[in-house]
Homo-oligomer: A and B are copies of this chain.
Amino acid sequence: MDKTVADPATAVAGIADGMTVMIGGFGGAGSPIELIHALIDRFRAAGHPKNLTIINNNAGNGHVGLAALIEAGMVKKLICSFPRSAEPVVFTDLYLAAKIELELVPQGTLAERIRAGGAGIPAFYTPTSYGTDLAKGKPVAEFDGQSYVQERWLKADVALVKAQIADTHGNLTYRAAARNFNPLMCMAAAQTIVQATRIVPAGGIDPEIVITPGIFVQKVVAVAHPRQEEDLNRANAVYPGIA
């Protein structure tokens, strides 16, 4: 069993128009920049994929990564908790012009909905957002005298994930706070595509320190020197156009 694919372009080749795509990362940490850029390259060459629904905590920053994906016109709808950032001009402009849809979800509810999707839990109750605008239209219920909102699972056709080390079975480790949503998204997508700094043979990761077991991963691609969104933005990078 070897889930390795040759390069990011090959890894993302199957992503089709209209798909729901989860993208890992919280701000720049854990954002799979090279996979996102490979998707933009494909769109620029072939006109696909477009009309994507993207699930990410944020709405991108500057003109690289997720922001560049949105700027390229590939995204129909964004599901996220915090579409503000230091430089969120791309999303903000489209949103205020009503050219992109937004489903705003509290961050913990977003995480739990994704986990629920991965764990086969179609719905759950949370105290979060009870009595607020974000609970409008959702069923509520009382348990032990407290009020809760019913939330549904979130699943995706594809997850794009950034890991630190992968083995050929797809077992993964992450780096520091770049872990964030990545392990959850691995669980919740029909196809999980991972970029890792290093791919090692099966047995190359201690079974005790595996964070994402390979059962949740379909493809791994090596990106030895991944770019960090934060560094790119501090250099005022724009994609396409960066080295």
> Which residues A121-150 have CB closer than 8 A to chain B?
121-127, 141, 143-144, 146, 148
| B126 and A125 contact, CB distance less than 8 A | no
- When the two chains form their complex, are residues A146 and B127 in contact, meaning their CB atoms are under 8 A apart? no
Which B residues are in CB contact (< 8 Å) with A175?
208
Q: Does A16 contact B (CB under 8 A)?
A: no
Residue A119, interface by CB 8 Å:
yes
Q: Is the interface of A mostly helix, strand, loop or mixed?
A: mixed
Contact present for B123 and A112 (CB under 8 Å): no
Which of B112, B174, B207 is A119 in contact with, Cβ under 8 Å? B112
* CB–CB B123/A125 < 8 A: yes
Query: A152–B148 Cα gap in the complex (Å)?
Result: 13
- Let me know if A116 is at the binding interface, CB within 8 A: yes
A106 interfacial contact with B, CB 8 Å: no
